Amino acid sequence: MSTSILALAHNWAFAIFLIGTIGLCAFMLVAGHFLGSRAKARTKHVPYESGIDSVGSARLRMSAKFYLVAMFFVIFDVEAMFLFAWSVAIREAGWVGFIEAAIFILVLLAGLFYLVRVGALDWTPVRSRGKVKHPSEVIKISNRHPQ
């Protein structure tokens, strides 16, 4: 027998799974093409969700700070995962493990302080970063209306 037939005989279950998966995908695409509606209307291609007509474009520009927060979230989640694993094995790790965990936390805190220092966590737009006014210069607004 050839090597390809031997490989197929050895992995017959995976081959059947792969053929079945490809066949199912092809069937769904063909069935959707034949069973789908053919109506042409002006509002057919307008997105409609939850009973509300969409307003504006879906192409919104997201601030890079959104992604920065997402990265910080992932980083601190990974930190929490490592510390959880350390806390589970604290008796086996002993003082050496405690010192290593403390060094790990200190390195992460040093990185966080660096980010605060360089302004990576400053959410205020550059144009509104003026000098802070002295409290005597601030105009006090009252909710009282003169009558």
3-state secondary structure of 52: strand
* Residue that wins the pLDDT comparison between 1 and 10: 10
Strands 52-53 and 48-49: antiparallel
pLDDT of res. 118: 82
Does the pLDDT of residue 80 top 70, yes or no? yes
Does the pLDDT of residue 66 top 90, yes or no? no
Does the pLDDT of residue 145 top 60, yes or no? no
Tell whether pTM > 0.75.
Answer: no
pLDDT band at 20 (very low <50, low <70, confident <90, very high): very high
pLDDT of res. 72: 81
Mean pLDDT of the chain: 79
**Residue 108, number of CB atoms within 10 A of its CB:** 16
**Interval 12-26 mean pLDDT:** 92
The superfamily (CATH) of domain 63-122 is NADH:ubiquinone/plastoquinone oxidoreductase, chain 3 (1.20.58.1610)
CA distance linking residue 23 with residue 29, whole number of Å: 10
CA distance linking residue 74 with residue 89, whole number of Å: 23
Which residue in the block uniquely carries the two structure tokens 């086996």?
Answer: 92
CA distance linking residue 113 with residue 87, whole number of Å: 25
Q: Where are the domains of the chain?
A: 1-33, 63-122
CA distance linking residue 72 with residue 55, whole number of Å: 32
pLDDT of res. 99: 92
